[in-house]
């Protein structure tokens, strides 16, 4: 037997969804504006080291964006499932 949805949990999940959406938006803006591009000033090994460091940061920012998006989508999916049971 499926239990009826908990109203307090719905409110909490809705707040979580909104919070995750806002955080996702901020991180996407940071990805666009704050991850450096280009390294024309560097030469040789310094350029490789700099490129690698920026690439590492980019990869982690992308992973953070993916995790936030997934968290938001799964929260929304949970809310949708609870609404169906509603």
Partner 1 sequence: MGDDLTISGGGATAVATDELFTAAQQLHRLALEAASLCAELVSIDRLVSMNSLGSGNDLSAARRAEFDIDHATAMLGAIEAESRGVGGALSNAAEAYGFSERFIGSLGTQLAADGAAVLGAMTFASAILSPGAMIVGGLALRGLVAAHVFEGDPGKASHGAHPSNWLLTNPVTAAAVRAAAMSMDDAMLTASGLPLPAAQLLGDNGIGLVGLPFAAAALMGVGSTVGLFTETQVRPLAAHSRPVEGPPTGFADRLSRVPDAGTSDGAQVVVEKYEVPGGPDEFAVYVGGTVTFSPEATTEPFDMTSNVANAAGNDGGAFRAVVEAMRLAGVQESSPVTLTGYSEGGGTAARIAASGRFDVVGLTTFGGPTGQIPIPASVTTVIIEHSDDIVPALGGTQVNQQALIVERDVFAGRDIPTQYAVPAHHLEYYEETARLLDAATSDQVKASAARLNAFGAGATSVTSTAYTFERVEH
- Give me the residues that bind partner 1 (CB under 8 A), please: 2, 6, 9, 12-13, 15-16, 19-20, 22-23, 26-27, 30, 33-36, 38-41, 50, 53-54, 56-57, 60-61, 63-64, 67-68, 70-72, 74-75, 77-78, 81-82, 85
- Shortest CB 45 distance to partner 1, Å: 14
Q: Please identify, using beta-carbon distances, which residue of 15 and 48 lies nearer to partner 1.
A: 15
Give per-residue burial for 10-48: e unless 16+ CB within 10 Å, then b. eeebeebbeebbeebeebeeeeeeeeeeeeeeeeeeeee
> Whole-angstrom Cα distance, residue 85 to residue 17?
19
């Amino acid at each position: 037997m499926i239990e009826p949805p908990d109203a307090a949990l719905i409110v909490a999940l809705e707040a979580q969804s909104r919070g995750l959406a806002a955080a996702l938006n901020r991180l996407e803006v940071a990805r666009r504006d704050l991850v450096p591009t280009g390294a024309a000033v560097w030469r040789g090994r310094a350029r490789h080291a700099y490129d690698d460091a920026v690439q590492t940061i980019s990869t982690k920012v992308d992973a953070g964006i993916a995790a936030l998006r997934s968290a938001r989508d799964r929260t929304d999916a949970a809310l949708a499932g609870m609404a169906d049971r509603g």
